[in-house]
């Protein structure tokens, strides 16, 4: 009876967290759909290609901010260590983000040369301004996640989405082109500041300090390495297509990802935000941890699998109807990359499990192997066209990720008996 009540409580806790994020994600997708429809009709494939390059840059730069690793450390930290680690994280965030801002502005010149297009330089410098905003609310956001207040996380994300999409649509209708996306991305960060600072009382105390910074870096290095490899895998196809096939081809491919796999990847992120604190709460009890892990996989299967299949089947109908006939060429790519999203949330849940068990190095090794396999496949596929690149992405994910998920489950719970 007691086990049943505990299992029900754990299930409800995960379900509530995911439900809040799911509600925010649904509303975000409604807003985002309206934005994509308008942009698809106002922007060219070349404009989409430029947007892809700009946000490819910021995706990689985000990894080096250490934010993902710092957040996970604050979630993982003991109550006794939390206060001084939070203060140190605050000052570390400012130092790192200012450096990243400067480096991204300098790197924009090399990126313009790499893609043979100087039109990306100024937008890249503009989006780098977000690094001067993030340290204001980063610690509060991490502490809210630690406390499993997923409702606040969902509210912050939804508010940012509404503000960003409304501004993007407004700027696009004013004829600002790719600047409609760039300016909205930067200005909408005011929502994160407002929500997180309003909903958490933590503020930096005392003088500048880096006490415990080494501990944060030691813990963060594996999550950061994993995140960097994930970003490389997520954007390597963009990088290669833009360089070897062309910016316009990249625009078509980028549209296909955003109109298709973007929804599936949002689900991956939604579960990821919830699962680490959900696992960490019981990391010392292997039986309860196993129950939570298996329950999370069941929830993922019930949500992600049917959604991806339905979206793939309906793509030939909704793309020309909603986005316009000029994007029909992207439909085969959309279907292929969308199907590659099926095993991704399962593998992501397994990585969160490894981190909760303090097996970060294992996760990093796996990501190195998987990134190497995907790189080889993409370097071969890019010799033909964007369709072959999409097929390479699909095959690699369908083979490698299920094997990883199975291995993590067996290696993490080798001797834990099944509950009768």
Per-residue pLDDT tens for 137-183?
Answer: 988 988 888 887 878 888 888 888 889 989 999 998 898 888 999 99
Per-residue confidence (pLDDT) for residue 72, from 0 to 100: 73
Buried b (16+ CB within 10 A) or exposed e, 36-65: bebbbeebebbbbbbbbbbbbbbebbbbbb
pTM (global) more than 0.75: no
Percentage of residues in the chain having pLDDT higher than 90: 22
Q: Are 220 and 70 in contact (CB under 8 A)?
A: yes
The answer on pLDDT for 63 being more than 60 is yes
Instruction: Give me the pLDDT at residue 6, please.
Output: 41
Query: Which has more confidence, 29 or 414?
Result: 414
Count of residues for the chain? 420
Which of the four pLDDT bands, split at 50, 70 and 90, describes residue 416?
very low
Domain ranges of the chain: 1-207, 223-412
Looking at residue 414, the DSSP 8-state letter turns out to be: S
**CA end-to-end distance (rounded Å), the chain:** 13
Q: Name the least confident of 10-19, 84-93, 174-183, 226-235.
A: 10-19
Distance (Å, whole) CA 190 – CA 161: 12
- How does residue 66 score in pLDDT terms, banded at 50, 70 and 90? low
Rounded mean pLDDT, 362-366: 86
Asked if 169 and 35 count as a contact pair (C-beta separation under 8 A), the reply is yes
- Of the pLDDT bands very low, low, confident and very high (cuts 50, 70, 90), residue 279 is confident
For the ranges 39-53, 79-93, 96-110, 271-285, the lowest mean pLDDT is seen at 271-285
- Quick one: pLDDT at residue 2? 38
């Amino acid at each position: 009876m007691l086990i049943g009540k505990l299992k029900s409580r754990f299930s409800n806790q995960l379900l509530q967290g995911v439900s809040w994020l799911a509600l925010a994600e649904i509303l975000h997708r409604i807003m985002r759909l309206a934005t994509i429809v308008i942009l698809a009709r106002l922007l060219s494939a070349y404009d989409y290609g430029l947007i892809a390059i700009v946000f490819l840059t910021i995706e990689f730069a985000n990894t080096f901010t250490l934010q993902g690793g710092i957040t996970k450390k604050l979630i993982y930290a003991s109550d006794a260590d939390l206060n001084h680690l939070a203060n140190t994280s605050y000052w570390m965030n400012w130092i790192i983000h200012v450096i990243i801002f400067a480096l991204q502005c300098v790197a924009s010149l090399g990126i313009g040369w790499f893609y043979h297009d100087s039109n990306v330089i100024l937008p890249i410098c503009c989006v780098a301004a977000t690094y001067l905003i993030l340290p204001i609310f980063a610690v509060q956001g991490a502490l809210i996640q630690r406390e499993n207040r997923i409702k606040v996380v969902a509210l912050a994300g939804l508010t940012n989405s509404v503000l960003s999409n409304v501004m993007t649509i407004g700027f696009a209708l004013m004829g600002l082109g790719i600047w409609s996306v760039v300016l909205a991305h930067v200005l909408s960060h005011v929502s994160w500041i407002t929500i997180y600072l309003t909903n958490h009382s933590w503020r930096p105390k005392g003088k500048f300090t880096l006490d415990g910074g080494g501990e944060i870096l030691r813990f963060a290095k594996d999550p950061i390495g994993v995140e960097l490899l994930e970003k490389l895998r997520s954007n390597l196809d963009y990088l290669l297509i833009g360089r070897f096939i062309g910016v316009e081809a990249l625009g078509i491919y980028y549209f296909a990802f955003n109109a298709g796999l973007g929804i599936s990847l949002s689900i991956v992120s939604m579960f990821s935000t919830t699962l680490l604190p959900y696992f960490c709460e019981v990391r010392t009890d292997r039986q309860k941890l196993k129950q939570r892990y298996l329950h999370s996989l069941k929830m993922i299967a019930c949500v992600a699998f049917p959604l991806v299949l339905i979206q793939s089947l309906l793509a030939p109908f909704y793309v020309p109807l909603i986005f316009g006939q000029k994007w029909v060429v992207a439909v085969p790519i959309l279907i292929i990359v969308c199907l590659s999203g099926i095993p991704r949330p399962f593998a992501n849940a397994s990585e969160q499990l490894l981190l909760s068990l303090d097996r970060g190095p294992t996760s990093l090794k796996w990501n190195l192997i998987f990134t190497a396999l995907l790189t080889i496949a993409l370097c071969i596929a890019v010799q033909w066209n964007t369709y072959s690149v999409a097929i390479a992405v699909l095959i690699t994910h369908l083979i490698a990720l299920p094997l990883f998920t199975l291995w993590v489950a067996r290696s993490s719970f080798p001797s834990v008996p099944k509950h009768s």
